[in-house]
Structure 1
Amino acid sequence: MHETRQAARQRRRTRRLMVGTAAGLVVTGLLVSLVMTMQPDGNDDAGPAPATAVANSQESLPPTSPARKPVKAPPSAASATPSAGATTPSAGATISSASATTSAAPTSASPRKAPATSSLAGRIRPKNTYPGVATVYKAGVGDGACSYGPSDDMMIAAMNTTDYETSAACGAYVLVRAANGASVTVKITNECPLPCAPGQLDLSEQAFAELALISTGRIAITWSLLSPDTSGTISIRYKNGSSPYWCGIQAMGHRNPLARLEVRTGGGWRQLVRTDYNYFLSPDGSGCGGAIRITDIYGERLTIDGIALRPEAVQPTRVQFARH
């Protein structure tokens, strides 16, 4: 009996040990599983690397279009280049530049826009009437500052220095009216130096006599530019001393005042500078002896070929400016 009870106790201890061991094993397994779950494996280590790389690449890339500041395109050559009016252009560019300038909106301080038909005129403009005085001088053979030489027609005048404008008035025809109603048409062939005032004309004795007695000496007048009816044509003359290395060119007999004279060179048309003695100079000889192009104050251009480089020879052409 005693042995039976002892065996029963031994069996109970064994069961408890087995249950404890099993429980320990279960707990140990749970702990191992928990540790393995919490410890990152190889796949978890590989994951963050590309994520970090992507993050870095996003920081190094430029921002997306919504975050970009607008970028202005650099100005084109056409928009950056001023009107041909502000910089020294060719004849066609000069006219275009002048048109662009006059088309700009005027300000209150801007002068009144000149008529398009006289955009190349200087101080003396068509359809304008100028007040002044007429004086008288002995014109001799009719030669003067414009360098035309002797003249058979003595209906001539000298223009005051201001309106002479470095010989721009040379060859202009002017209608002069006196207060008594008398009038005379004269051609500008000379310059009246200071103290001749703006608006003043110094008339030859022959021309002054058409308005008043020569002994009067000085009268009030008004005058205006003319584009006369004439059957004559324009002539060209090279100045004495002209050569292929230097030349001066003069146009004579033109109906309307000249705005410019150009010569044809290897690089195109070249505008020559006008002197106060009414010749257009080519200091290096370029274009001397070649084609000549002249433009009047109304913008009409005439091209003249076949003029030989012969100093002092008056060579007629077959062309003339239109009447206005």
Structure 2
Amino acid sequence: MKVTRHAASRRRRTRTGTRGLWTTAIAALAATGVVLCLVMVLRPDGGSDPGRTVAASAADTPSSTTQRTPSRSPSASPSPSTAPPTATPGASPSKSPAATPGARAAASKPARAASAEAPSAGRIRPGVTYRGLATHYDAADGNGACLFGPSDGLMIAAMNHTDYETSRACGAYIRVRAASGATVTVKITNECPLPCAPGQIDLSKQAFAKLGALSAGELSITWTLLSPSTSDTVAVRYKTGSTQYWCGIQVVGHRNPVARLEVRADGAWRALARTEFNYFLSEQGTGCGGAVRITDIYGEQLQLDGIPVRADVLQPTGVQFRQR
């Protein structure tokens, strides 16, 4: 009987121990559930993994380099509103073998060169070498789309329609170089209409003959913008029919290409719109006969006070842009 009681007592202890283990396990599970509930309540995102949320945001937000700065090679052509000639057979800017170190640097980084050296430059930028074709035409007395009138000499050329850029190229001096090494300096006085391609220069027959035989018809060339030495000074001409109520103003004899023309009116400078025929128009007569301010592509300004309205008369000013 003692043995039996002892065995029964041991079985009771065993059952009691089992119940204790179950009780402990249940309590532990309950505590774990409470902790999990607290974590779910206290987390601001309601249960998502913060590490994954940040990673997703970073992946979904484009970087500034990828989104805002298109990848391009140094010779790629920017858009036509702010860029050098686009590439046709060699029309994009490139390094010239004969260029100075500064010119080579500008050619390899045309956008930086434009902002540093010519803040108002359009498609044709200083320090950049362009490639294209030279053709020729009969220039007659040298007058052309720029309406400068007859030329004293016929070392002149017509700029292709794209790079003519609404007469912005008018009056620019460029040096043209053939593959043979022969060069000629010409002044842009005309426009070569389409299908003249970007980079193409249509030379007077006299200028083309400096590079090769007229029978060749066309030549592969490179060309660069110049800021030449000159004894000329800037002159202003009002268009035929101009009055104080409507006028067109033209700049003649400028060393560097003209980027902007403004008139003084109501105490402020107002830019006039440029035309394809190389006049700046004031269709309401604003500023006609008053002060004029002319800006070249380098940002230099010439202020001219009291230019009277005298239609179709070339009025000298005695001033000139600096040589660059």
Same fold (TM over 0.5): yes
CA displacement 1:116-143 (0-9 Å, x = unmatched)? 1212100000000000000010000000
Report Cα offsets for 1:159-179 as digits up to 9, x if no partner: 000000000000000000000
1:107 partnered with 2:88: no
CA–CA distance in structure 2, aligned partners of residues 227 and 143 of structure 1: 22
Q: Is the Cα contact below 8 Å between 1:255 and 1:320 reproduced in 2?
A: yes
Matches within 5 A, 1:233-248: 233-248=233-248
1:120-199 equivalent positions in 2, closer than 5 A: 120-199=120-199
- In structure 2, list runs of 5 or more residues that go unmatched: 1-66, 73-77, 79-108
C-alpha distance in structure 1 between counterparts of 2:248 and 2:267, whole Å: 20
Q: Deviating runs (4+, > 6 A) in structure 1?
A: none
Which residue in the other structure is 1:202 paired with? 202
| Count of residue correspondences | 220
Amino acid at match of 1:114: R
**Aligned partner of 1:146: which letter?**
C
Aligned-pair CA distance for 1:287: 0.2
Aligned-pair CA distance for 1:306: 3.2
Residue 280 (str. 1) matches residue 280 (str. 2): yes
Q: Deviations over 1:6-26 (max 9, x none)?
A: xxxxxxxxxxxxxxxxxxxxx
Please give the alpha-carbon distance, in whole angstroms, between the structure 2 residues aligned to 1:172 and 1:266: 32
- Give the Cα–Cα distance (whole angstroms) in 1 for the partners of residues 298 and 148 of structure 2: 23
Taking the TM superposition and a 5 Å limit, the aligned residue runs for 1:297-312 are 297-312=297-312
Aligned equivalents of 1:196 and 1:173: distance in 2? 19
Asked whether the 8 Å contact 1:205–1:214 carries over to 2, the reply is yes
SS at 2:132 equivalent:
strand
Mapped to 1, the partners of 2:249 and 2:119 lie a distance apart of: 24
Matches within 5 A, 1:8-19: none
For the residue of structure 2 that corresponds to 1:114, the secondary structure is helix
Shift of 1:107: 2.5
* d(CA) in 2 for partners of 1:308, 1:106: 48
CA RMSD, 1 decimal: 1.4
Q: Residues 290 and 307 of structure 1 are in contact (CA less than 8 Å); yes or no, is this contact kept in structure 2?
A: yes
In structure 2, give the amino acid aligned to 1:212.
Answer: G
Q: Deviations over 1:240-293 (max 9, x none)?
A: 010111000000000000110000111410100000000000010010000100
Cα deviation, 1:51-74, whole Å, max 9, x if unaligned, reads xxxxxxxxxxxxxxxxxxxxxxxx
Cα distance per residue 1:88-122 (max 9 Å; x no partner): xxxxxxxxxxxxxxxxx973448663321212100
2:117 is paired with a residue whose SS is: helix
- Match for 2:205: what amino acid? E
Q: Partners in 2 of 1:178 and 1:106 — Cα distance? A: 39
- The within-5 A match list for 1:251-290 is 251-290=251-290
- The question of whether the paired residues in 2 share the 8 Å contact of 1:117 and 1:299 is answered with no
Letter aligned with residue 298 of structure 1: Y
* Aligned amino acid, residue 141 of structure 1: D
Structure 1 residues without counterparts, runs of 5 or longer: 1-104
- Report which stretch shifted further, 114-123 or 279-288: 114-123
